[in-house]
Amino acid sequence: MNLRVSWKSGGLWSALLVTMALFPLAWAYPTFPGDERALMEVQGLQAGWLDQVALAVSSLGLVPVSITLILAVSGSLFVLRHQTDALIVILSLVPIVAGNGLKVIVERPRPDYLLVGAAPHGLSFPSGHSVYAILVGGILIFLAEQLVASPLLRRWLQISIALVILAIGASRVYLGVHWPSDVVGGYLFGSMSLLGLIALRKRLDTNISPACGTRFFCVKLPGSGPDRAASNPSLAVRAVSLGAPQLGYSWGRKR
């Protein structure tokens, strides 16, 4: 068990170090070895129908579309009383904005291989579309595991979302608006941020009274004995309705 935990921790630290190392390297070098060759090979697959597919998939990462999706998912989760999950979806905007800020620091120019579509604005590393795809797509895959009861439907949703994540990154290379290393850097940065958000979500879920159910506010009565709210749920409901200044409140949802 300890060996398994050690390998897991070592893998996470290694991925984090690789991610951190990519940024100064991308600042120092306009391309990485193999970037240009890989981009040209991907564009060698060009076909009229593939142009349209790439443009459609890439449009999923446009700011109006991405913001609308994040707000829609978060709002739906809130209505369904999954407030912690709704918060995590909203917080995904933080690393997305941070990724755009890192572009300014790295200052890597975009490739001069535009195949089709409008010329992109801004800088290249990391790919903002890739950061958004792995963050929001990863959260959706995680939520499907937690909330979808049917195993068949759950796996179908997760595989479909994973394919969309990969397709968004591939479309950016195909269109010639990002180097492959930009996409890889976006995936790595987004993955590290995703793990942080999932850890935060699990941390928030640990401070929940069994009597809370899916209520927005949970009541936990102080004392060394069993949770009085758990043994008497009606007491918890009355405490919330009356304010009960002597009681402690915590926020969360039932797992």
Looking at the fold, whether 245 and 199 belong to one and the same domain comes out as no
Residues 168 and 242 in one domain: no
- The single-letter DSSP state of residue 206 is T
Q: What is the pLDDT of residues 37-47, one digit of tens each?
A: 999 999 999 99
Mean pLDDT (the chain, rounded):
82
Q: Are residues 201 and 180 in the same domain?
A: yes
Q: State the burial class of residue 142 (Cβ atoms within 10 Å of its Cβ: 0-12, 13-18, 19+).
A: middle
State mean pLDDT over 216-222. 40
Same domain, yes or no, for 106 and 31? Answer: yes
The pLDDT of 99-113, averaged and rounded, is 94
Domain coverage including residue 234? 217-251
Q: Do 162 and 41 have their domain in common?
A: yes
73 — pLDDT class (breaks 50, 70, 90): very high
DSSP assignment string, 3-69: HHHHHHHHHHHHHHHHHHHHHHHHHH-SS-TTHHHHHHHHHTT--HHHHHHHHHHHGGGSHHHHHHH
pLDDT band per the 50, 70, 90 thresholds, residue 4 = low
- The residue-averaged pLDDT of 27-37 equals 94
188 has pLDDT over 50: yes
* pLDDT the model gives residue 118: 86
Within this chain, do residues 198 and 231 fall inside the same structural domain, yes or no? no
DSSP class per residue in 178-197: S-HHHHHHHHHHHHHHHHHH
Does 184 fall in a domain? yes
Q: What CA–CA distances, in Å, run from 41 to 29, 36, 57, 173? A: 21, 9, 19, 10
> What's the confidence (pLDDT) of residue 237?
41
Same domain? For 188 and 90 the reply is yes
Beta bridge partners of 219: 249
Domain check: are 143 and 247 in the same one? no
Out of 44-48, 155-159, 161-165, which region has the weakest mean confidence (pLDDT)?
A: 44-48
**Model's pTM, two decimal places?**
0.78
Decide if 240 is inside a domain. Answer: yes
Average confidence (pLDDT) over 66-95:
94
111 and 232 within one domain: no
Instruction: Report the candidate in 137, 110, 113, 114 with the shortest Cα–Cα distance to residue 125.
Output: 110
Tokens of 143: 């939520």
Q: What is the pLDDT of residue 252?
A: 41
Same domain, 237 and 137: no
Place of tokens 């391309």: 31
> Based on the domain organization, do 192 and 236 belong to the same domain?
no
In angstroms, the CA 116 to CA 186 distance is 22
Average pLDDT over residues 177-186: 96
Residue 210 lies in a domain: no
